Copies of this chain bind each other. A is one copy, B any other.
Amino acid sequence: MRINDTFRELEPAKRLTILNAAMDEFAQHGYEKASTNAIVREAGISKGLLFYYFHSKEELYHDLLAHAYDTLKDSLMLAFDSADGDFIARLRRAAERKLRTYIEHPHIVRFLGAVFLERNSGHLPPAMLENLNNTYTTFRAQLYANIDTSLFRDDVPPEHCIQLIRWCMEGYEKEMEAMMSRHGMPQEPGAYTPLFEAYYGYLDSLKQVFYRK
């Protein structure tokens, strides 16, 4: 069991209040600038209690990361469960799942993004950093395993096709994340439709140029 036992026994609502308050603070200000005062204020608990559950700011950070992993484990496992050879189709499903995860667990996704951004600042224990990198690498590997390269046009090296397509997808994702962090995330599901349509448009174009006729 990763997180402090007494903390895990808490009624889930309060537990989540604390976790989300902490994740938001870390996501917004980064590890160093994050204020434990702000966390307890937002979570509605006392300073002492926070340090009773998590013995230090650093441990809190680590426990949040563990919590994030635990929560997303299932979602992530499904991410590539039915990977088929069509690379672009696979990317399409991956992006959809990614977006869905963001909608379901916005605190966690934002926190993970912030953790990932400052993963080399020295606040993660080597094991966790390695784990983080491994997870990232594994997902990467899964994403690029067993691609049916026979779908690609033959006048361009298939590795180039894969790389270029991947960069396009990542570029699109980053753009969307940037947009969302600027305007906040739409609350009603319908608002996401045009985003997906634009996305599908790009996928079509990618197919057009990278796949053989």
Contact = CB atoms under 8 A, between A and B. Distances in A.
Interface of A: 28-30, 32-33, 121, 153, 155-157, 160-161, 163-164, 166-168, 170-172, 201-202, 205-206, 208-210
A156 B168 CA distance: 15
Main secondary structure of the interface of A (DSSP, over half): helix
A208 B155 contact: yes
A33 B34 CA distance: 10
A163 B203 CA distance: 12
Given A30-B33, A33-B32, A33-B33, A205 B172 contact: no
A122 to B, nearest CB: 10
B160 A28 contact: no
A209 B206 CA distance: 10
A1 to B, nearest CB: 21
A166 B160 contact: no
Contact of A167 (B161, B170, B210): B170
A163 to B, nearest CB: 7
Contacts of A208: 155-156
B32 A164 contact: no
Given A164-B202, A166-B171, 17 more contacts: A29-B121, A32-B33, A33-B33, A155-B208, A156-B205, A157-B205, A160-B201, A163-B171, A164-B168, A164-B171, A164-B205, A164-B206, A167-B170, A168-B168, A168-B171, A171-B171, A209-B210
A79 to B, nearest CB: 21
B209 A153 contact: yes
A166 B167 CA distance: 9
Contacts of A32: 29, 33
Contacts of A33: 30, 32-33
B28 A30 contact: no
B167 A121 contact: no
Contacts of A202: 160, 163-164
